[in-house]
Structures are given as structure tokens and as C-alpha cells.
Structure 1
Amino acid sequence: MRGWFVADSPDFRHRGVWLALAFAAMAITLCARLFDVQMLQHTTLAARAAALHQKSVTIAATRGRILDSSGRVLVSNRTVYDVYADPGLIAASTREDAARQLGPVLSMDATAVASLISEPTRFVYLAKAVSQDISDRLNALNLAGVVVVPAQQRVYEPSPVTGTSFAANLLGYVDHSGTGQYGIESYYNTVLHGTDGHQSTVRDVAGNSITLSNDPQSEAHNGQDLQLGLDSEVQYWAEQAIAQGVATAQAASGTLIMMDTKTGVIRAWAQAPTYDANSYWTSQIASFRDLAVANVYEPGSVEKVVTFAGGLNSGAITPGYTFNEAPTTIDGYTIRDWDGRAHGTISMQTVLDESLNNGAIKVGQLMGANNFYSNLLAFGMGAPTGVDLFGEQNVPLPPQNKLSALDLAEAAFGQRVQVTPIEVLAAFNAVANGGVWVQPHAVQSVIDRTTGTTASVVPTTRRIISPQAAATLAQMMTGVVEDRGGEGSLARIPAFKRQVAGKTGTASVATHGQYGNDVVVSFGGFLPAKNPRFTMLVVLNYPHETGVVRFGATLAAPVWKQVAQVAIDQWRITP
């Protein structure tokens, strides 16, 4: 019998349960998401939202000035203007017209301007460090999306040497980011820069900044001024003297540095070639390098001052000590004097006067290896002086047990030891200062412009030889200038007879381990010998003058004398 198939009626109750569960799951997911957004991610998302309309504007601190010893401003600031655009606020239909207006004012091609203001970004520089006049002309255009903001630009005084700025290698420069580079600007960057402030602002829908006076902000704290020991009058002539000295000697470069004998403060610091810090970006990077602190070289016979200081201090020699001076053979290598002669029986005064290498070796031998090596360390050979300038280099002395008898012999006359000009100057100055080494430093004091308070820079000092040994050596060094046959005769100053203490230096330059024809020539000295006011060193690198013998006596000593005479007149020094 055929029956009827009867389908089950829909189970609305079960469907309702599933639907309710689905809505419940959705509600739970939504609640979880809301909890995640409002509780767990609140801080992050709030910051992102605020960033769309709120930003922190930097309030630039005013960089401190740099003054010379008399308070004359050497480095200052002037207001310039940076120009930028927000392409997002410049309608596409107006960009071509805006570029046509901006081009002539900025001295730019209109096509180039149009390309910049069409970039897919919210910030693009159009020009930096433009003048007040250009700023006024831009503001008069009243173009949407073009902003002119004030900025600081460092101003350096001109040098008497064409195309350069005053004391460039001593001072350094400040780059476009406001950071000091090289010299004092780098070493004291934090002190000079100060601390920037910050102001919170809100941007409206057009992107304009609205400063909120009750929002958190921090004030800018301006940088402090630096007063140097530099004498601008002496520096003026020193820059010309070293530039002319380099030209006359046909040298690759030259350095002239002078310090106050008692305080160690730098009085003059000149280099050639150098650069213009006002347009540093046009200069070769090599010209930024301060040779006085970064040029490591073998000093040659100026090192004999250190050798003789040790010999006198240890009692190994006296000025009148005599011996048979002749070529010395050590480890199969024969060392001869610059003139190739054997000088027979002579005194130590003659050795210093005539700069005889074998005589210097004799001093080292009489001292003994231990005393000789300790004396080098005491004078700071191979060690940084700690001068307050960027980039001081040094090559430490090898351990004594790594030095052969030949190494020690050659070190006695300034070969096989590597130093910088500032190390040599500080060593000479220790003799001038009665046997007390004093740290050379450029900055004399730090001045807080807000309070007017001054903090003096106090250098480190240490005694390295006795006052008696220093006085004896100073007198011997006057013989180098005044005695018949003395190598330093071109440094003589008639009004200061027996008061100019000096020493010449001529060092062979090693290339790939072999000494060639290149030399470094120098002259260091101080005056008046019995109570020195200053100590000065002149170094000329790789001279190629053919008209005279390439010696420190012929090329560096005249430059030293020229600047010494300026200092005598400027400071009214009497014998």
C-alpha cells in the first residue's frame, strides 16, 4: 500500500539557538576588539592620532660665540632663512604659476622648482640660508604651502690670506645641521650649542601650526661663550708668515704654533694651506685636517732638546763635557753627521750648536738605555697632550724591550720616534718653563652669557726635569742661535742677544720603510731665555726649494724670527 511521505517541520527553535550563538560570538569578538583598542592600544593609537594634527617644534638655542684673549669676537651668528614647501598644500593647478614666481626670487630655474613642489611628500627644502631680503620677497608672494623659517648661520672673520678665514684650523666650522666640525667648534660642541627647547603645536586642516600656550614646552638654553688665549694681532701676522714660508720653501704645507710659556694657553695657531670656514663645502677635505695635532712625523734634530734635557738632568753630561765625535757604527749600520765629517774632540755645547747626530747618540749612551727611555716618556713623546682640539693623534713609543740599540741611537736625534707638532711644542715649553710640563690649551675660560659667570680652564702640569737642568739647557740653546757656527743664526734678534733660545730640525721622511729625499724642517724656541713669555714652533713639510739647502736652519728659522718680532712688539717684551 502506497503511503504518504511527510517531511519534518522546520526546527525553528534549534536555528534560533545557533543564530543567538553566532550573535554572541560576534559580540564577544567586538568587545574584545574594543577592549584591545581602547585599553591595550590606547596610548599607541592616541599618539598616532595626535601626530596627524600635533607636532613638537624645536626652539633652537643660540650657539655661543668664540672670543680672542682681548674679547674680540672671532666667531658669531647671523640670522638667515630656510625655505621649504609642503607640496600637499599646493594645488596641482597652481604649481606651475607658483614655480614661476618662486624661481626668480630663489635664483632657481622654474622647472626645477616645479619638480620640487610636485614631489609626493609633505616636506621639501627649496633653499637654505637665504638673506633677509629674499625672505621678505618670499613672504610678500603669500604662496600657500611655502614656508620661510629663521635659522642661524656661523660667521667667521676673514684672514689676511686671501680666500681663507681667520684661524680656520684652530676654530673649525659648523655644518648645515648645526654640529661643530674640527677644531674648537667640534671639541666644545656641546658647550657652544646649548640645549634646544621644544614647543607643542596643533595643525589645522590646512596644515597651519597653532601654538598652544598651555601645552607642555621646554625653553631653549643658549650655548656658552668661549674666550681663547689667542692674540689676534700676532695671529694675523702668523697666518701671513706661514703662508709665505710655505710658498718660499715650495713646501707641501706648514704649521706655526705658539703657546704662553707659563700658562700653556695657545697664543697663535696658523697653517698653510688652510680654508674658509664660511664656505667650507667648497674646500678639499684634506685642508680641514689640523696638522699641529694630527700630523704624525719623525721630528729630527729638534728632538735633541729632549735628549740633552735628560742628559743634563741625570748628570750624564755638562755643556763643557768633551769627547771624540765621529761616525758611530751600531748593529752594522754607520751613522754619520749631516756634513759627513768626523769632528774630533768637541764639547756638548758644540754638539747642540751644530746639531751633530753622533753627539746626541753619545748623550743617550752616557745616560743608559733605561734613563734615556724614561726621559722620552717623561717629556710626553708619543703621548697625547690632551690639547682641547678635535682630532689629536699619537703613536705610542714601542715598549723598551722592543727597541734595538740602533733604534735608541736614532731616537736620540729624532728618527725612529713619531710625534706631532703639539707634542714637540709642549716638550720645548717644559724647558722654557723651568722643567715643568704644562698642558697646551686653546680655551682660556668659559663664559655663561646669562649669568655673566666665568669658569677658567686649568691645565695639568708636571715637573719632568730640575730647574737647574732646564736653566742650563735654555742657556745652551741660546748658543745655537748666537755661537759661531750655530745652526740657528737666522733666528737672531739683535736686541735680544743671548736671549733667543732655539733649536733647528731636519728630518728625513721614510716611505715604505725607506728614507728618501723628502724632509720635514723645523725650528722651535722661546724668549727671553731667562724668563720666557712664549714658546713657538714652525714646521714646513716636504720643502722643494732648490736655491738653498733644505734645512730647518735656512727655511723654518726665518719664519720663527718674523713672528717672534711681532710678539715682542705686541707684548712690549724687553730683554
Structure 2
Amino acid sequence: MRANASDAVTPRRPPPVQPLGGGRYGFMLVLVVLALGVLVGRIVDLHVIDRTFLQGQGDARTLRVESISAHRGMITDRHGEPLAISTPVVTLWANPQELPPDNIQRLMLAQALGTDLNGFNARVERYSEREFMYLRRQMTPEAAQRILDLNLPGVYAQNEYKRYYPSGEVTAQLLGVTNVDDRGQEGLELAYHPYLAGTPGKRRVLKDRKGQLVRDLHLLREAKPGGDLVLSIDQRLQYMAYRELKASVAEHDADGGTLVMMDARTGEVLAMANQPSYNPNNRAGLDPRGLRNQAIVDVFEPGSVMKPLAMAAILESGQFDRDTVVDTSPGWMRIDRYTIRDVRNYGELDLAGILEKSSNIGMSKLVLQLDDPLVADKYRALGLGQSPETGFPGEATGSLPAPVRWSRSQWAALSYGYGLSVSALQLASAYTAIANDGVRLMPSLLKLPEAPSGTPAIDPQVAHDLLRILEESVQPGTGARRAGVPGYRVAGKTGTVRKTSSEGYQEDVYRSVFVGIAPVSDPRIVTVVMIDHPRGGEYYGGAVAAPVFSKVTGSALRLLDVPPDQHDSASSTP
């Protein structure tokens, strides 16, 4: 059956799309245009207007200029043996704002640093507003790496150098020390810091936001290492001198002591030891007295060791000769309001006997016959009361009063070593004039390229005569006999000086001093030994200081390969 055409289904057409009204279309178009305008404006702002500022801010977060540490110069003895060297170390630091808040991670870090968690957290809290705090300075690279291997955020490393002193307390006061920033603080480290320190370098690097190095971009300035400093010190002699000085101070329960050994031909200081001392590699609990280089910065009244120097002025005056005889009886004399005494009544003495017996009466009577201040002038010619010019920080000039309205007692006291002050280094330098044909040599702490010319200070013949007299003063039977050195001829003078306080000279408190020259036939070394306040009964210079000279000088002459001269006749001309 065929369907009726009228029954066919007619499909529905979709309703016609109504066009947007003019208002709605315009509104949408404005929004699109505005959005595009804002976007374009922001692009222009970022890439044109604020480009320089934003690029600088970005570089500041990625580009860094880092300092390159300069290797501090080495200090060596005269033979190249190291006395002060710099070793690489690592300093750990942290950004407190980046450290993990987790206590387990913080506990791991605190334990690795050797501290407790509470203390570590308290320290982090104090620095919470900052971006830098030290964790540990100057660690060994191995110890620092163990902490870095924990891979904790906010922990960083910085390469530095730390000073190390192989000779420890033996050269502590002479070398001095550097601080944690490797800057010289004492001694030669301070005096020569600009030369030793060098110049740090700079490099530009790229780092990520965590501060980790991404790339080393380029070198801005190379690090210039510091220069090496070669001292006049002979490390072998220094160890030996320090050992003997320390043993003597302990044996006599003394407050301290100092020893200076100089080359009689050049003025170079071959050894300089002090007691007490300290270990510069471990300064925990150090005695502040040990920081002082007493040989250079401290002064004392020298006492009878000045008599040979005063005798030089007496002999040069032309009024006396070696055969002049002085009556020292009865062993004491009054000058002004003071009484001057000898140990006992020595009677008549020639000039050699006055020095051998160390007669205060004999020296006083000779000096009081001089019209001019010859003794004071001689002391000045020998460098006393003046700077030794070594460049050492705080070196003492000593004191030598100007001869203005001096009393007779002051003139007399000056001749036997009272009323002035000197350092051990100044005393050694003065005695080089006796050892070196009358020419005084300035002391040097640095190795010299050649022997200096020196300054004439004593008539050569007078210097020879004094050397002969001082040799007689250390013969068997004399007060200085314990200064003798087997196989060698030596010359020297003892001194025993009462110490002073604010109330004047102290009873039974002394300094024991000895100054010696060896060998007499061809002087090589001049040595000064001073022991401060020896106790236990012995305090004379011949009993306390002279034995130290004997041991040190004997070892030094053998180490320096100086041939023995004991076979020479004692009466031969040196």
C-alpha cells in the first residue's frame, strides 16, 4: 500500500542565527583591543623601558664576582728551611633562610659541626634575618667535604689558606702570627704583611638560585701570591739555643730569659730565643707574656757587661793604658750621697784586673778622672739609646740620659752599667765592635746578600786589647770560667743586676747576664744570654748565664764548621 504523499515527514530547519547587536559587538572588540594593548605595553615596558634595570637584577641573581685568595708568602730560615707556610683550608658558611627547617637534617649538620641541636638552632635564629653566617672557619678539606656530602640546602664552602708554623714555639715571638683572615698580627708577620700577603684576584662566575656554581665565565684579575721572606736565622742554631735557654730557666726556676746570637762578621741574627714562649699553632690558654719578643722589645739595666764598652772610652782618652794601676781599697767608696761597693777588697788592679774582678770602684775612679762625657758618647757610638732599625714592631730604643748636669755618682754608675737601659739585641750589636776590629754592625733579621761595611765605633787597637782582656776574664779560676768552650778560645763578660720596682732596687731579685765572643782568634759569633730572676741560690751571671753561653756556643761553632783554636797560645795576638 503506497503511502500518501501528504503523510511524508518534513525535516525541521535550525532557527536562523541572530546577528549580535551593535553594542555587544563593540564591547567585545574593545576588550580584545585593550587586552592586546596591555600585553604590548607590558612587552615594551619589559624589553625597552625597564630592560637595563631588569637585566641588572637578573644578573645580580646569577652573575657573581668572587675573590680568589692569594697564597701568602713563605718565611724560611737562611738555608731555605720553612718557618711559616700557608696550607689550603675550607670555610663553611650558610644562608639561614635556606637551611632546612627539618630538625633531623639540622641535627645531622649540628653533629657534623660538633655542636648540639639546641645551640645550633639558637644561632640560626639569631641570623634568621640575614643571608650569611659562618658554620666553621678554616677546616681541613677532608673534614669540610664530609659535611658537604650531606647535601643539605643552604650550606656552602669557601676556599682559604691557614698559616702553619713548623717550628712551633721555638720561633714564635720572632715570626709572630696571623689572624683567622690571614693578616699579620705580631712579629715579622705584621712587619712584612704587605709583602707576604700578595694581592687577591677576582673572577666572574654564573650561579644558580641556590648559589651553586654553574659556569666559570672569565678571570677579571689574577691572584698575585705574596713574596717569600728569607730570614737570617739558622734553624739548627735556633732549636739548640731555645732548648738550652728553656732548660736553664727551668733549672733555676727563673721568670724567663732571652738569648741573641749574632754573626760577628755581618750583624745577621743567627738565633733569637725567648722564655716563656707559646705554640702559635694552638693558642688556647697561652701565657700573654709569651707573646713578647723580649730580645727586641724589652729593655733592662745591663750592669757589669757595660764595663768593657766603658773601658773602650777610657783607653781611647789617652790618659790611661793597660798597665795603669788603680787602688780599689778598701772595697767601697762614697760618691755624693751614695756608697759604691765591690764584692770584696781587691786592692790594686790594672785595667785587665778591673774587668776580670768586675770592680765598680776601679771603673768609678777611672771615669771620674775624665773631663768630658766620653763614656756616654761611646755608648751612643755603639748604638745605645737608638733604634736598632730592624723594622720589628715595637723594637725598643732603650734609654741613655743626656749628660746635662749629671752628678759624679751618675757618671760613676754609667761606667758599671746602671742608669741606662738596653735590649739584648742592642747589647749584641755593641759587642760586634769588639769582635770586628772596632767596627759596629747593625743587627739584621733578614739574610743579607753581602757583608755590610759597618760603622767604626772603637779604635781597632783598643778593640784588640779588649778582646785579649775579655779572654783572660773567662780563664780557669775566674768568675766567668763556666763560659769556657772545650777546643775554642772565648772572651766574655758577666753581669749581675739588681731588678727595680716602683719602690727602687729590690733585695735578692737579680738578672744574670753574660756576653761572649768566639772564637777569639777569628771571631764568628757574639752571644748575649739574660736569665730573669733566677732562684735557688745561684744568681751571678757567671753561675747562671755563662753555662748557657758555653753550651750554645760550643754547639754553634761545631755546626758552623769553625775549626778549633785552643792550640793557639793565650798570649798571642787575636
Give the TM-score category using the shorter length.
0.7 to 0.9
TM alignment of 1:330-341, pairs within 5 A:
330-337=335-342, 339=343, 341=344
Identity of aligned residues (%): 28
Q: What amino acid is the match of 2:117?
A: A
**Corresponding residue of 1:301:** 304
Q: What amino acid is the match of 1:503?
A: K
The 3 A distance-change label for structure 1 pair 421 and 46 is farther
Q: What amino acid is the match of 1:295?
A: D
**Corresponding residue of 1:535:** 526
**Per-residue deviation at 1:209?**
5.6
Moved more, 287-296 or 459-468: 459-468
Q: What amino acid is the match of 1:58?
A: S
**Corresponding residue of 1:424:** 427
Contact 2:265–2:451 (CA under 8 A) maintained in structure 1: no
Q: Distance in 1 between matches of 2:322 and 2:173?
A: 40
**Per-residue deviation at 1:255?**
0.7
Q: What amino acid is the match of 2:459?
A: S
TM alignment of 1:268-307, pairs within 5 A:
268-307=271-310
**Corresponding residue of 1:325:** 328
| SS across alignment from 1:80 | strand
TM alignment of 1:65-76, pairs within 5 A:
65-76=74-85
The 3 A distance-change label for structure 1 pair 209 and 400 is farther
**Corresponding residue of 1:80:** 89
Q: Deviations over 1:425-450 (max 9, x none)?
A: 111122111111111112116xxxxx
Contact 1:56–1:201 (CA under 8 A) maintained in structure 2: yes
2:251 to 243, 248, 252: 248
Q: Distance in 1 between matches of 2:451 and 2:226?
A: 21
Q: What amino acid is the match of 2:105?
A: A
Contact 2:66–2:202 (CA under 8 A) maintained in structure 1: yes
| SS across alignment from 2:322 | coil
Q: Distance in 2 between matches of 1:460 and 1:193?
A: 32
TM alignment of 1:93-492, pairs within 5 A:
93-94=101-102, 96-118=103-125, 119-120=127-128, 121-158=130-167, 165-201=169-205, 204-208=208-212, 213-214=217-218, 217-326=220-329, 327-337=332-342, 339=343, 341-444=344-447, 456=449, 461-482=454-475, 484=477, 486-492=478-484
**Per-residue deviation at 1:285?**
2.1
Q: Deviations over 1:430-485 (max 9, x none)?
A: 2111111111112116xxxxxxxxxx48767311112111111111110110164x
Contact 1:116–1:126 (CA under 8 A) maintained in structure 2: no
**Corresponding residue of 1:502:** 492
Q: Deviations over 1:380-423 (max 9, x none)?
A: 22222112433212233222115332222111111110111111
| SS across alignment from 2:427 | helix
Contact 2:203–2:218 (CA under 8 A) maintained in structure 1: no
**Per-residue deviation at 1:513?**
4.6
**Corresponding residue of 1:562:** 551
Contact 1:310–1:367 (CA under 8 A) maintained in structure 2: no
**Per-residue deviation at 1:141?**
1.0
**Per-residue deviation at 1:261?**
0.6
Q: Distance in 1 between matches of 2:426 and 2:333?
A: 28
Q: Distance in 1 between matches of 2:406 and 2:199?
A: 50
Contact 2:368–2:411 (CA under 8 A) maintained in structure 1: no
Q: Distance in 1 between matches of 2:305 and 2:215?
A: 64
Contact 1:305–1:428 (CA under 8 A) maintained in structure 2: no
Moved more, 557-566 or 68-77: 68-77
Contact 2:276–2:289 (CA under 8 A) maintained in structure 1: no
**Per-residue deviation at 1:280?**
2.6
Contact 2:486–2:554 (CA under 8 A) maintained in structure 1: no
1:516 to 479, 489, 506: 506
**Per-residue deviation at 1:540?**
0.4
| SS across alignment from 1:134 | helix
Q: Distance in 2 between matches of 1:55 and 1:459?
A: 52
Q: Distance in 1 between matches of 2:545 and 2:511?
A: 10
Aligned length: 509
| SS across alignment from 1:417 | coil
Contact 2:254–2:533 (CA under 8 A) maintained in structure 1: yes
The 3 A distance-change label for structure 1 pair 48 and 393 is farther
| SS across alignment from 2:447 | strand
**Per-residue deviation at 1:131?**
1.8
**Per-residue deviation at 1:50?**
7.7
Q: Distance in 2 between matches of 1:437 and 1:220?
A: 43
The 3 A distance-change label for structure 1 pair 295 and 360 is same
Q: What amino acid is the match of 2:536?
A: E
Q: How high is the TM-score relative to the length of structure 2?
A: 0.83
Q: Deviations over 1:79-138 (max 9, x none)?
A: 1211111112224x33x2332111222222122222333322211111112122212212
Q: Deviations over 1:330-382 (max 9, x none)?
A: 21212111x1x332221011110011111222332244342222112111222
Contact 2:154–2:210 (CA under 8 A) maintained in structure 1: no
Q: Distance in 1 between matches of 2:277 and 2:415?
A: 33
Q: Distance in 2 between matches of 1:346 and 1:75?
A: 52
Q: Distance in 2 between matches of 1:353 and 1:103?
A: 70
The 3 A distance-change label for structure 1 pair 353 and 117 is same
Contact 1:113–1:126 (CA under 8 A) maintained in structure 2: no
Contact 1:99–1:111 (CA under 8 A) maintained in structure 2: no
Q: Distance in 2 between matches of 1:51 and 1:551?
A: 72
Contact 1:316–1:363 (CA under 8 A) maintained in structure 2: no
Contact 1:116–1:124 (CA under 8 A) maintained in structure 2: no
Contact 2:388–2:397 (CA under 8 A) maintained in structure 1: no
Q: Distance in 2 between matches of 1:457 and 1:80?
A: 38
| SS across alignment from 2:314 | helix
Q: Distance in 2 between matches of 1:47 and 1:412?
A: 77
Q: Distance in 1 between matches of 2:441 and 2:272?
A: 17
Contact 1:491–1:560 (CA under 8 A) maintained in structure 2: yes
**Per-residue deviation at 1:61?**
0.9
Q: Deviations over 1:177-227 (max 9, x none)?
A: 211232222221121111122234566544446666357x22211111122
Q: Distance in 1 between matches of 2:202 and 2:237?
A: 43
- Structure 1 gaps of 5+ residues are 1-37, 159-163, 446-455
Moved more, 262-271 or 550-559: 262-271
**Corresponding residue of 1:16:** none
